[in-house]
Chains A and B, each alone.
Chain A
Amino acid sequence: MSKKRETNTNKFSTTKSPSLAKIRSYNEVTEYKIRTNGLTVLYVHKPGSSVVTSNIMYKVGSRDEKRGETGIAHMLEHMVFKPTSHDVKRKTDSAAMVFESETGAIVNANTWKDRTTYYFSYPSEHFDRALRIEAERMHGVILTDKQFKPERTNVLSEYDMYAGEEEFALSVQMSNVAFQSHPYGHETIGFREDIEAYTTEMLQTFYETYYAPNNAVLTVIGDVTEAIMKKAVLKHFGLLTPSLKLTPRIKITEPKQEGLRTITIKRKSSTNVYALGILNDGFPQKGWFETMAILDMLAGGTDSILHKKLVDTGLATQIQTSIEPLQDKNLATIFVILSTKATNEKIHTIIQNTIKSLTLKIIKPYLKKTTAKALVGEYTTRESSLGYTAELVEYISAGAPEQFFATEKLLTSITPRDILIRAKSVFDESQITIGYFIGTP
């Protein structure tokens, strides 16, 4: 049997009255902290739209999971949408779900390797209610078998949805061989076998450890004044107490790779996929952006080098890349869906030869284009409070929210020589991971 979470009064501080202290400002963001419990608050006023997006990000993701409990951060994310102890007292369904079904607010969440994030986007008049719900979910989630077991079925359904995709199946296996020590070695959804073995006790421990104000950052972006924001934040989060179980993440440095790593998946399919994984610096370091620029130059659209060599020649049907804004060194991947004319060996040789033949002259125009595209992309993503928040969360997760405004400076500081040096290093045969998805009849 699972047990209910301990009474909420454990989380209340009575010694000091809470206040929201201004810590710093960078560009249009103001950062505050509730000193009594450690909650960080980032606020941006965007008047005129009548819309607010609020987001709470917990610094916990799949990297914090132990062996045997992979995917538990994501499972817990699902459980946070179930009724809390407050909802039970009020005899209502989950406040978050009621919020969506009564107001039409956008209510969603996602879990990634470094963080779990929950967001609401809604007309400004619902601001106080939105914060109340997030505060209640921070300490009042009930984890019982009755709630958990049907939701696990949904998560298994989600797992099956991803696992059927060739690129995803490759990602799972490639991360697994690319990381021998660092916890980025498993995907956020976890392994099916682990999902099937979760207990509510495991979820409870995870929840009590990581869901607390001292492990969270609240972001408020939109058409709400500073005074109203401060009042609501203190009202709902001011008296929550910090987690005492929280310990700093251990810094894990992945052991040096000493040779090419490969994996092969054979599955009934008519699709064949070649994937090349490279180790990339953490986000938002300069090296991360350099790799982003390299991937864009190689496979970032119809004018990219490999698109011309593989898709335009009919050797491949599609070419795409994956690069994640993660805190530590992680795997970025190029996926090539082969046409019937191509073999894995041929694709591998073309890619390696392409890297070897890169020169400053080739790189220079591509770098200019990548920078221009990235900057327009930034305007495009940040034009709504929802998009702005989603992007800011990745900088917060990486521990560098102020870098949110430094992308242009950083991108324009990258030189063709930087790209050349990095390309030669990350594509070194002894540092890469190759995945083959071989479709069998």
Chain B
Amino acid sequence: MHTTSKQTNGVSAVRIIRDNERLAVCKISIPNKDAHSPKNDVLRTIYSELLLSGSKDFSRETLHDALAKLGSEICVHADAKNISISLDALDITLTKTLKILTNVIIFPTFKDSELKQVKEHLINSLVLEKENARSRAHQQFVSALTSVDDFRHPFSIDTLISEVAQINRDDIKAFHTSLWRQNWLLTSGGTDKTCATIENIVINIRRCDDTQVMEAPIKLTGLSVSRCTLSLIDIPHRQNIEFSIGNVLPLFRSDPDFPAFSFGFNVLALPGFSGRLMSTVRAKEGLTYSIYGYIESCTLSEQGFWRIVTFFSPKDVEKGIMSTTREITRMCEKGMSNDELRRFKAILHTRFVLAEDSLLKKVSEAHSLSLIGFSQQDFTKYKQDIENMTVAKVNTAMKKYLSPKAIVFSGAGPTQSITKVLKKAISRI
């Protein structure tokens, strides 16, 4: 597999080429530039469902029918930052699939009857979301660490439900029109010929409107907490209490400390059994089934968060929280060892090699890099930084950015019986 990239007509295009490949895949992302509000949040979600509800040449039914007959798939997803479209097809069905995509993007219909249906579906999903303990712990975590005007700041489920009724067809059409003006990110995967076909067609879709000069992104920081805080949502009938544990990471991707922090955080919380949290809190102490960490929302223009995701049963929650905190403290105060440096260099190297086994993984990886503003050259440099990492660099970064005295503990689940004991435990940290 090999990678190429170019910029043309408002599209930043990356190709992942694998010879003799029958799969043809692409991911397109278009940044949202609308204001951060509950209405716009709901609008984006509705838009992402409505885009595939019909176009000039297709009703919802005939559109899905046409895709299914080809065995192809087009999905649209909205988050706070981007509208993303993914397309999966075979080389022999690619042209027809791209024709459908073109029709949908250039001539959407956004019928009122479809809008009504999507709104009803969204309300049902939001009601169901109230039961999703993991997601609610996460939302509460982000909420604690972002200001209300930060695009990442989530709105309450009830606020979103109340906004659904306000959305009308004109809102959707205006939103669709505004998307054209943004610059697009495109990652395609397949043979060189497949990728060229995808690029030609997508760039042509983009050409339907004028190209704007890429605006310099506004730099965003989070609201770092300076002491430990506990927020709990009681969902009484869940078995376990889901947690998001962490704080703001005041680093941009381009900051020199970022590779060192990322390295050290992997030592602490890498998914799998290599990270300290999995090998102690799960494997040695048996306090949870999974405990992993992620660095999230860190881009060239945004400082993000470090977050540990886990769950504990009510009877183990105090021990679980204390064990997790102990490991964070140990990493912050004592840092990592030479042995861990050697091992994690090998682990991270293997991750890069394993990506070569899968075109789909490689396309996702490349697209994720584009979304955070990284070029392939930046990624190569990041890999070199990892190769050249030292214990001193990592331990300095850990001390600087991983304070055990300032952590947000956000939990959701059957919390009523453990609130008191947990508050007390956290006040001792």
Contact = CB atoms under 8 A, between A and B. Distances in A.
A161 B64 CA distance: 35
A97 B343 CA distance: 12
A343 B353 CA distance: 52
B191 interface: no
B369 interface: no
B239 A100 contact: no
A318 interface: yes
Contact of B353 (A51, A268, A387): A51
Interface in A326-378: 337, 339-340, 365, 368-377
A373 B71 contact: yes
A387 B287 CA distance: 31
A303 B313 contact: no
Nearest to B350: A104
Interface stretch (B321-329, B358-366, B402-410): B358-366
B357 A49 contact: yes
A336 B379 CA distance: 44
A369 B71 CA distance: 7
A317 B350 contact: no
A257 interface: no
A151 interface: yes
A317 B127 contact: yes
Interface in A86-116: 97, 100-107
A302 B117 CA distance: 12
Given A121-B357, A150-B286, A269-B131, A376 B88 contact: yes
A11 B13 CA distance: 58
B128 A337 contact: yes
Given A101-B343, A157-B289, A376 B72 contact: yes
Given A154-B282, A383-B358, A383-B360, A303 B121 contact: no
Contact of B239 (A151, A152, A163): A163
Given A49-B356, A365-B65, A312 B121 contact: yes
B392 interface: no
A102 B279 CA distance: 13
B256 interface: no
B347 A104 contact: yes
A403 interface: no
B61 A372 contact: no
Nearest to B189: A383
Given A161-B239, A164-B238, A303-B64, A50 B353 contact: yes
Contacts of B350: 103-105, 122-123
Contact of A161 (B69, B130, B240): B240
A104 B358 CA distance: 17
Contacts of A49: 356-357
Contacts of A199: none
Among B21, B73, B237, B238, chain A packs the most CB atoms within 10 A around the CB of B237
A150 B128 CA distance: 35
A380 B64 contact: no
A373 B68 contact: yes
B197 interface: no
B358 A386 contact: yes
B273 interface: yes
B42 interface: no
A312 B124 contact: no
B357 A386 contact: yes
Contact of B64 (A50, A154, A302, A337): A302
Interface in B43-71: 52, 61, 64-65, 68-71
B285 A150 contact: yes
Contacts of A102: 343, 346-347
A157 B313 contact: yes
Among B272, B279, B349, chain A packs the most CB atoms within 10 A around the CB of B272
B219 interface: no
Interface in B336-372: 343, 346-351, 353-354, 356-361
Among A50, A161, A271, chain B packs the most CB atoms within 10 A around the CB of A161
B417 interface: no
B130 A270 contact: yes
A384 interface: yes
B89 A376 contact: yes
B12 interface: no
Contacts of B353: 50-51, 123
A190 to B, nearest CB: 15
A154 to B, nearest CB: 5
Given A151-B286, A383-B359, A369 B23 contact: no
Given A51-B354, A386-B357, A101 B68 contact: no
B288 interface: yes
B22 interface: yes
B125 interface: yes
B296 interface: no
Interface string A285-325: 00000000000000001110000000110101110000000
Nearest to B355: A51
A245 interface: no
Contacts of B239: 160-161, 163-164
Contacts of A384: 357-361
Contact of B90 (A101, A312, A379, A439): A379
Contacts of A268: 236-237
B420 interface: no
Contacts of A314: 117, 120-121, 124
Contacts of A379: 22-23, 90
A372 B346 contact: no
Contacts of B351: 104
B110 interface: no
B274 interface: yes
A369 B274 contact: no
A200 interface: no
A439 B237 CA distance: 9
Contacts of B273: 81, 97, 100-101, 107
Contacts of A235: none
Contacts of A106: 272, 354
A280 interface: no
A376 B90 contact: yes
A303 B120 CA distance: 17
B124 A339 contact: yes
Interface string A379-404: 11001111100000000000000000
B111 to A, nearest CB: 13
B297 to A, nearest CB: 25
B260 to A, nearest CB: 19
B284 interface: yes
Nearest to A157: B289
A145 to B, nearest CB: 14
Interface string B13-42: 000000001110000000000000000000
Contacts of B358: 383-384, 386-387
21 contacts: A51-B357, A104-B350, A123-B350, A150-B283, A150-B285, A152-B286, A153-B286, A154-B282, A161-B311, A164-B239, A222-B357, A270-B130, A270-B131, A312-B121, A314-B124, A317-B125, A318-B128, A368-B69, A369-B65, A385-B357, A386-B358
Given A101-B343, A384-B358, 12 more contacts: A51-B354, A97-B279, A100-B274, A152-B286, A160-B240, A164-B240, A268-B237, A301-B68, A312-B117, A339-B127, A369-B68, A383-B358
Interface of A: 49-51, 53, 81, 97, 100-107, 121-123, 150-154, 157-158, 160-161, 163-164, 222, 267-271, 301-303, 311-312, 314, 316-318, 337, 339-340, 365, 368-377, 379-380, 383-387, 439
Question: A-B pairs with the 8 shortest C-beta distances?
Answer: A104-B347, A153-B286, A164-B239, A372-B71, A104-B350, A369-B68, A303-B64, A384-B358
